[in-house]
Structure 1
């Protein structure tokens, strides 16, 4: 075949890119091209990823950034809760999601830590024992992923997460950056952006009582009872009795439900029927959908059964659950060029905004003064106020109105603004 002019050469190059796109991708579940696989990150410990190539009208998938999504829990599955309940192209009713992220960018859902979702361990001893191990496992997965998908080595990479995923993501970002500096990984990591993160459990839990009082959800008696319980948590943390602190945290959650008559803790303004039962990312309907539909479509029926929430993942982490990770965020800001973003739905109790603001105010980093001096601006879209933002010193904070624990579900318009701010969809 002979190409006679520059237009023919260009057209042929575009054709080849399209062929490469189709060759790299496959049919999975739902619209668009997909790829999925397991990576043995440690002997007997296997992480699962599910890549959704963007459905945007582009000549090459690699024109758009790659966003990693990490779920919370710890132990809630990104492939279930993240993909089908929050931001994937379709929901579990098979209906298209207008606000899905795949229409703009490539999205990589990772079931982390090991033992979550499709990820599995061969023995109990392989569960992650701390946040550092989770981060290193994720780096090992990405090293394998980028070797098998080398085109993504040159694509802007962003890590997004929520809840306990917001505690995992910063350390993952730091370890990925360090691995890149050592020449072990080739990637273009640009930002880590976390929603309603459990980065400082103490700040979060101490904010419960005043927040609920100010919201009118508890009265002064409820405030006093809850304050006593959260003060005990603080005392245990200060004494270094972290195992008892984990138990106290569980008792505090139960006390909130008792005092508030089961207010919906993930969004205080959502109507919630007295007979309704909700567990974050862990509904029988979702589990049935994943096991009976997605597992078959991905040809994973011979693998370990998909798990919506694996409590062994949570208990395996032990005291690390209530340890802070503020120092990791500080290191990202001081030691790397990576942008750091926090977004917080103001109606959340579990990771309440006041607690997040408190640890940010106390955090110190080299360029903090530029953040302190910055003006907090309104996020106004099509004339409507969706929240506020403040940016400086490579750090950004977003307060999101009309949303709780999962901003991407409660206020997708504001979430779209945040996505565009960091990725620009390109």
Structure 2
């Protein structure tokens, strides 16, 4: 597809966006000649443009008895890009050096990456007041995107869609799940919802912050003095959440992260066995309070896990360089991640809001819900995840909690990779030797897991 014609230079508060033509709410979409990739913009609301990128799996089958699944990947932040991080650093066909990834989830499903909410990654808004402020608003925008992608595509409609989320993306996933169910019931959305998977997700902020101090003390990362300082802030956060002072709780959460960093000598929030990948000298109070710095730390932690080194592996350089040139339809003055700081700022009132009730509603509606957790994660720790799961009101919970776990292996390797158990439509995976980024830390067992979640007929070869 040829590059779209740019027609207007809009001067708006804090933003300057050069817009392509949009037709029926969707930009001129593009793709590869063989049809294996498609991408484009969807205008989910006037002035709010969401970018999507769809990969058709080379392993896709057309057996009606074994429907081929589609995975919608939702990243966290708020403000982190699924098109960038999830795609090139975790599960897509290529890594940030544009080399083939042997563990790509395309072996089990088609992949749909979306830069959500608007303002994230390549997605953008023409006026900053069009940014969303709540998880529900993000879910509604995503439902609009699914309606415009799926309703006119019978091939997509025949494939069950699995919403797989990481980190803060879990809160979008559950609000999207409920919004999509309603749209399907109202016959506004033609889609088969296969299930929802919550990977190290920020479903209950209170349960996670409560877990940080005890966990770090147990592994000798902080001493009693640091523990007491963190516990004092945790009590403050709990009271603020109870009082509905969610913006204040977000600020206290940021203060707690700073106390943890200082008292632990910069523990890595995404793997508590490591030091933070940030330069300790530059980790000033101002930097810690910056939302964009938090998002960069989220991405750079993945950067530090790669064996290869070299400037050509930088994600920002990749997305604003060769990938932007390949896609062609990105407005010239839209910078990948350029509005991410604003995205986080607009979520300050909802960031510490729990979404346990939404998980309960999905389970009650019969939706398959999978929870998976990396053993070494701190920010969305196992302790915190187990705590919020135990708060579910779902009628199968007590039976689920009483069940034993089954060990997980991978291939011919009989070393324990994790554990799992399930009851009715709730599934739980504990992934050993993995931090926040399970697909990166344990790619083999993660691929097996997603094949099981999606009931995929795909191969691991």
TM-score by length of 2: 0.82
Task: Answer yes or no: is 1:377 the counterpart of 2:380.
Answer: no
1:210–1:157 distance in 2 versus 1, CA, 3 Å: same
Whether the 8 Å contact between 1:77 and 1:281 is mirrored in structure 2 is no
| CA–CA distance in structure 2, aligned partners of residues 385 and 416 of structure 1 | 15
**Pick from 10, 27, 33: which aligns with 2:32?**
27
Whether the 8 Å contact between 1:89 and 1:103 is mirrored in structure 2 is no
1:47–1:60 distance in 2 versus 1, CA, 3 Å: farther
Whether the 8 Å contact between 2:67 and 2:160 is mirrored in structure 1 is no
More moved, 38-47 vs 376-385: 376-385
| CA–CA distance in structure 2, aligned partners of residues 33 and 271 of structure 1 | 40
Counterparts of 1:327-406 in structure 2, within 5 Å, are: 327-334=357-364, 336-381=365-410, 382-406=413-437
Whether the 8 Å contact between 1:70 and 1:165 is mirrored in structure 2 is yes
More moved, 301-310 vs 107-116: 301-310
Shift of 1:56: 1.6
Which has a greater percent of helix? 1
Task: Answer yes or no: is 1:280 the counterpart of 2:309.
Answer: no
1:59–1:155 distance in 2 versus 1, CA, 3 Å: closer
Whether the 8 Å contact between 2:30 and 2:40 is mirrored in structure 1 is no
Counterparts of 1:121-270 in structure 2, within 5 Å, are: 121-270=125-274
**Pick from 310, 322, 336: which aligns with 2:352?**
322
More moved, 172-181 vs 239-248: 239-248
Structure 1 unmatched ranges of 5 or more: 1-23
| CA–CA distance in structure 2, aligned partners of residues 261 and 392 of structure 1 | 41
Equivalent residue, structure 2, for 1:49: 52
Shift of 1:390: 1.8
More moved, 280-289 vs 314-323: 280-289
CA deviation map 1:397-424 (0-9, x unaligned) = 1111100111011011221222022112
Whether the 8 Å contact between 2:40 and 2:329 is mirrored in structure 1 is no
| CA–CA distance in structure 2, aligned partners of residues 269 and 42 of structure 1 | 43
Shift of 1:225: 1.4
1:365–1:59 distance in 2 versus 1, CA, 3 Å: closer
| CA–CA distance in structure 1, aligned partners of residues 394 and 72 of structure 2 | 26
Shift of 1:352: 1.1
1:295–1:194 distance in 2 versus 1, CA, 3 Å: same
CA deviation map 1:167-188 (0-9, x unaligned) = 1101111111111011001111
SS in structure 2 of the partner of residue 207 of structure 1: helix
Which has a greater percent of strand? 2
| CA–CA distance in structure 2, aligned partners of residues 337 and 57 of structure 1 | 27
More moved, 304-313 vs 290-299: 304-313
| CA–CA distance in structure 2, aligned partners of residues 93 and 66 of structure 1 | 25
Task: Answer yes or no: is 1:311 the counterpart of 2:316.
Answer: no
CA deviation map 1:214-234 (0-9, x unaligned) = 122112222111111211111
Equivalent residue, structure 1, for 2:93: 89
SS in structure 2 of the partner of residue 321 of structure 1: coil
Equivalent residue, structure 2, for 1:99: 103
Whether the 8 Å contact between 1:113 and 1:128 is mirrored in structure 2 is yes
Equivalent residue, structure 2, for 1:21: none
SS in structure 2 of the partner of residue 333 of structure 1: helix
Whether the 8 Å contact between 1:379 and 1:389 is mirrored in structure 2 is yes
Shift of 1:55: 2.0
CA RMSD of aligned residues (A): 2.3
| CA–CA distance in structure 2, aligned partners of residues 262 and 68 of structure 1 | 33
Whether the 8 Å contact between 2:165 and 2:197 is mirrored in structure 1 is yes
Whether the 8 Å contact between 2:108 and 2:450 is mirrored in structure 1 is no
CA deviation map 1:71-109 (0-9, x unaligned) = 000100001011111111111112111111123310000
Shift of 1:300: 2.7
| CA–CA distance in structure 2, aligned partners of residues 35 and 80 of structure 1 | 15
| CA–CA distance in structure 2, aligned partners of residues 372 and 75 of structure 1 | 34
